[in-house]
Structure 1
Amino acid sequence: MRKQLIKLISAITAGICLFGANTCNSIPNSVITANAADYMDKGEVDGYVYDVWNNNYTGTVEYENSDTNGFTASWEEIHNFAVTKGKSFEKNTVSAYQFRECKVRYDLDITPGGSEYVGVRGWFTHPDTLFNIVEAWGSWRPPGNVDAISTVTVDGTNYDIYRENSNTGFDASNQYKIYWSVARREPLELGKSNHIDGTIDALEHFKAWSSAGLDLGFIYDVQFDLEAYRSSGSAKLNSLDITYDIADESVFGKTVPVRPYEEHDPLPVDIDGKIIKVDFESENDKVGVLGAEASAVISGDRFYSETHSMYITQPSELGEAAFFYELDPYDLPESEDISGSYYQTGARIFNNSKDDVSFEVQLVEYTDEPLTYNLEIKSGSRVCKSGQWTNISDLLFTFSHDVFHKYRVVFIPSAPVDYYVDDFYIASGDPEFCVGIQKFEPDVRGDLNGDGVVNSFDVIECRKAIINSMGVNRIETSGDVNGDFRSNISDLVLLTKYVLNISQEIPLPDDEAVLLLGDHSDSRRDGLRCIYVSSNNYNDDRLRTVFRNDGSFTAEWSNVSYYTCENYEDYTESDKRKSSKDFDINYSADIKAENFMDLVLRGTISQGNRSLRFFIHEGGLDFSELDYYEKTVLDESNFTIVTLNGNEYYMKKDITREDTLTGMTETDIEFFRKGNQIKTNESCHLENSLNLEEVMGYWSDDHETKDQVKRIGMYIDTHASSGYADFNELKFS
């Protein structure tokens, strides 16, 4: 049984908190965490929590708690600094609409040196929102260049109300809203001691925000806040008193949302990281099927383990039948570590139709009445082959533990199909259980049928896999024994010898191979040899790439709108750069493709303040019947015929241009090999040997300045295509 290990895509949110986007301390785990390079100090004193944050340890910061819930603080030549002190609440328990009172009384002496501001800040959850009530500021009035949406007068002071979105620089799932109430006052005097005191009625600001159409959530914390940016200064909070009164139900605005799931302790995590396991040996009210007139029954006709599975059917004219598991957020244990928001899911599926069908797995957020899908997050997809069990395993998804929404994990077929589901699971996505990338790392090497032992039944499975793979795929796992991601006679020989006790073990190949599914980037050879795969398809086995330590690779793609793959050596940041004369390029490959394809050797060479980008087109296909190269070089007046390693190429040299920012002059040279080597939907063998010094001869006659190769690689570009590129050799030496 092969253990498929998924690369943990660590979208770990760093605490990049530029002034105006606010700071990162005391932020709920579901929103953002601080950068590991930042200084953080937090604790609790006399029932008040405090947080001190200094971005990148820049400058000098001193902080000390004092009597009457106060503190003293000083900062010198900092980049971004904040200190907060106040009250916190259990997450998602107290709605802002339930407050009958929320007041912050303070007495502060502050000597600002520039862009400081003080007031109240805190967090709402559901929706995640940072809020600020600014009482005073120095040289900069927050939130900057943002238009006010409303105003409010509280205790005789006029405030402007603003709403903006965070700008963390990360993906949209990490964005949050920011609400501001900023007092209309004169700024603080810089370089002098300023005394300010008073009572901030936070509840009146909550009401004003609600009246302005801003959604309030559950209170995570309410704290006195002091923030500074690129300045030096000091402050003494002489006293702080926060009082509040909370009702059982909403006092104003919206009603408190209902939790669709009953609160309970999370399920335990077993030794393999599994949290939820469904074997379909009995009825389970959390599993079901989606689709008009689709049906699902527990069946003993076919199963992967034990004696039963779920059989799902759908009349072909009515669309696809999707299996789902109703996910109770309380079932999944949370972690203080950011990796605690990652989980894995999978199942065994038997495709009962005559055609291969792809299944896409999604985490779906929905509401019952009316049935509305609010959010669909793709976890990955797998092709389930006709007439056999497929292990859909280790598909990673993120989960925010928002207990006010309903969720389903859904397996959606790409076409109408009858199928069986067995051994569904959800597991922890912590690195302990989710490490690296797909590798040949079987639980029992040679156990192809997954029964835990290696015997003659595995030999039968290996023979079937070899027959099924002949002339179809270049990458196979079903009959792979030696770890090269192929199903061939060498696997059968190794397995047969082991079963007959002729050999005592099944050796792995000397050259380690890894299997990448979907979009990926990886490196070998101390990071110099790299591979990059892109098709906007995460964890999708329609895109499979085997990357080997010797630099060779196999790429396989099926029915994708576009696909690019580059195997290259990167010397941009390396002290191991070489001159072009030291690079001999050798490759040998078998290639097959439909529709558009372009196979290009490309790279960048620098020579002082000059650089060359070269593109050597070794072959390609176009959408039309017209030959790719004939179409490209139809007007031969734009090209010169040259020779590289005895082969003729059409050469086009672009006009040298200057980059005004870097001062570099850049030139592009393209070479198109005469006599296209690739034919539509035919397996073609390509090989060549080139020396970069020949390429340099068409660019520069200056041999006194030493040129250096910054990057060199083989690039594949396809559109609306299926095919493979099997490189048994690719060397840049």
Structure 2
Amino acid sequence: MIFKSSKQLMAGTIAAALCVTAVSLNFTSNLSSYATSNQNEQFYIDGYHYEFYNMSNIGECSFEPDNQGGFDAEWSGIMECQFDKGIYGSELPNDPESVIINYDLEFSPLTDNEEVTDGSSRVGIYGWLVPKSARYNIEYAVIDYQCNFDTENYANILELQNIGSYELDGMTYDLYNKKADANGFSFDASVEKYFSFRRDSNIGSGASVNLKSSIDLTRHMEEWQKLGMEKSNIYSAMLDVRAWMSSGSAKLNSCDINITEREREAFTEDGCFYVTEPAKNGGDYEMKPLGEGGFEAKWDSYSSVTFRKGRSFAEAPVNYSDEDCIIADYDMEFDTSKYGSDGMIDIGVHGWLDIKEGSDWKDEFNIILGRKNYYFPSNYKDFQNNENVIELGTLEDNGRKFRLYRSIPLHNYNASGVAEAPPHARYTYWSVAEDCVVDKVSAPKLSGKINIRKHLEKFMEQASALERVSRVYEVSLNLFTMGGEGSAKVNDFDIHLGSDKDEGGKVTFYNSGNATEKNSSMDPNGVGGFSCNWSEGEYKSFSKKLETEGEIDMAEFSVDYDADVNAKSASDTEWSLCSTCKSTQSNLEYYVFEGYGTSSVKMNSNGTEVTNIDAYSFLKDHAIIKKNSAIINGERYDLFYLRYKVGEGGLGGYDIYRCLSIKQNAGQAMGEKCHLNGSIDWAKHIMAWDSAGFPITAVDSCEVFFETNSPGGDFSLNICNFNLASNEVSVKGDLNSDRVVDNFDVIACRKALLNSENCPYDTEAGDMNGNGKIDVGDLILLTRFVLGVSKA
């Protein structure tokens, strides 16, 4: 809303029209008069507005900003005139912590002359407020000094009522008020007034004084609220010099408006930003972190605010087509029991897609998870002139069905006539969950996963070649609320990129065999693993693969895994969980089988597995070259060196050689859910094969895969970490880095204490108590551990 600066005791609203002109122009930082009509002028200099008004152009006035934060003003024989410096509109933040006006003014009022005996003048703060309800406007003034000013007479003319007094900084103020007339039709009827007059502020007629003052406008507003004013936001704050039927001069040496914003507006935690974006009329709201990625939000019924948590990729936009997953986890709950029928909530994943580096224009997307009394764009056909919205089809994601749309957004302009801050949306894409409406639930809960990459791919399928974009600029969880009192707890919201895991090589997720989009699905979980399901029999495989540019150092390489298997059983049904290492330069491959269905292995009469090549049905097409067994990390494995023939012979055929480790007694009952976890130490398997006389080669890729011919089921690789040597972290207590924590580390810790500046040992490993340095406490803890008194 744009306010008109209504002047007191005006016969007309000339200055109001000037104010509208002021906010519609492009301002520059240089001194420039942008509206001149008789003696009505306004300037914009270094972020401040300067205004001069002489009612009916009676008498003589002069007004000159000095381009250094002040102005010179003179008046003689006037009816009414005023001289202002201040800020308004979007230059003032919503609901600031404080707004303090400091000024230094040389004031020389002359009110008595032969023709006029009731002249007066005053100095104070003047402006407009926006009530939370927005049912009317509030005109306010804090009168700091006055000369020959009759407060009671002034109050009678404006129909003001004295509603009480208050004290601030040792000074007493009398507050006068005029209520807005809800049934009135004039402009003034929709305005409420709050004028605060400081006692003992008189200046003698003809005096010349230097006035220095500091007025905390927000503290005055708090006192007004105690005396009945509705809580409001500040629309404008101006230093105001005003005179009636008199002569005089004013020289403003300085005037600064110091604004302190509330710390709640934004904070950063764990690489994510947390911000609130209130509308100008926003009410009370609060956002605070809960730790571990969550936050709490509260708002009142006058609020119109968006709470956001997200990650910015502005410095290096992410190409989503290069990522195997862009996943958002969410878990949140709400209390909307005090919401009325018109209160609105909109919860979703929001983001920006970068069109061109450095461009203010971007594509925008919204994946709507929950809503209350808000339906755009699904109801766009109910509105006229909304042909800019088109439907894009449907999408299923993690058990929820979404309807897709695209719209061309309409851009707004702020109070100064300037377009909204970038980024600007070129197109806005929408995914709206069909079950997102929570209107009938007073305490809804939402939790799950969103495969953002899947939505982006679907959006771009509908875009023409020239409209497609692929770089993600920002992703956030957006909670928008308006018109109802409530609260929310976002227990968790995390954004996972495939490239976040397993640094040191390229990681991909893929399926093979007879797995298709029709009979199966596969979704990375964002934390290094994936989930999949299938609905038909024939062989299919689901894999996570690591590829490196150089050879993998097998002496320092291991794979951690945690998995759940739920495979339906039928005749000849098999499944197995395996890790394999290969090289693009060799036909020798390595396999370690960690789990399999019992139908994949023959059993002895005593219930134990037959430990030969004929025991494992998934090896039936291989020829045995050598076999052996070994105990690796406490588990017994059958070792095989095999040859597998590819093709039918002749020109197209060739041989592949494979070294296998199959964990004994790892069979799982078919048709029953099972859980598998462990760690594969590749160095020890290589040593076991080498000791058995199997060939050894270098590798540059590793996979963890699940394969089956089950007629249906699901599999989840909850955790899958490829631990390269470069990713190893210090072992607590291992100061000499020999991979053993013993008495030699105690000796190293003592040396580190004696010479901390030139310590040759791993001080990070020696920091046992986690205080960031080596001290006596670390030595005590390490000694106790080595002696077996305590655990590391």
TM-score, normalised via structure 1 length: 0.35
TM-score, normalised via structure 2 length: 0.32
* Bigger CA radius of gyration: 2
